[in-house]
Amino acid sequence: MGWQFIAAFAALGLAACADYPRDAEGTLDAVHERRTIRLGLGPTAAADRAVLERFIGTLGQSTGARMQTVAGPQEELLAKLEHGEIDLVAGHFVEDSPWLADVALIEPLTTRPSGDRKIGLALVARNGENAWIGLIERTVRDVRGGK
């Protein structure tokens, strides 16, 4: 009877993982339901606009959602992200941004030197939104050409 208990326990464990990865606050589900991605857009360099446009188009296509952009200073946008008022922030961030403890900083679309650091045009999502973060990471890799 021991193996039957183990089999039943394993089946329950697998069923619990059916929705993994999960979003703690349901961002990806909300994007699908609203059919809108609320993007906070910080100041961006003209040289980065083409790659950002490709990212926006690719993410919109993969979610079936249109992009609703909110422009503003990055600190203000990150606060809105933290409160769930927007889904994603695009802007220039350094690799060791103090926000790293509070948000998920995705691999940048572009990078350039800034003194002794690198600064990148990156996307930022709320921590714990694992399915959403995974989709953004895959989209960044696609836009960057698998780099």
Write down how long the chain is.
147
Express each pLDDT in 83-133 by its tens digit: 999 999 999 988 777 777 889 999 999 998 888 888 899 999 999 999 999
122 within some domain = yes
Express each pLDDT in 32-67 by its tens digit: 999 999 999 998 888 899 999 999 999 999 999 999
CATH of the domain at 113: 3.40.190.10
42 within some domain = yes
- Give the domain range for residue 106: 22-143
- CB neighbours of 39 closer than 8 A, spacing ≥ 6? 56, 67, 68, 69, 70, 86, 87, 88, 89, 90
pTM: 0.82
Is pLDDT at 5 greater than 80 in this prediction?
Answer: no
2 within some domain = no
CA–CA separation, 78 and 68 (whole Å): 16
5 within some domain = no
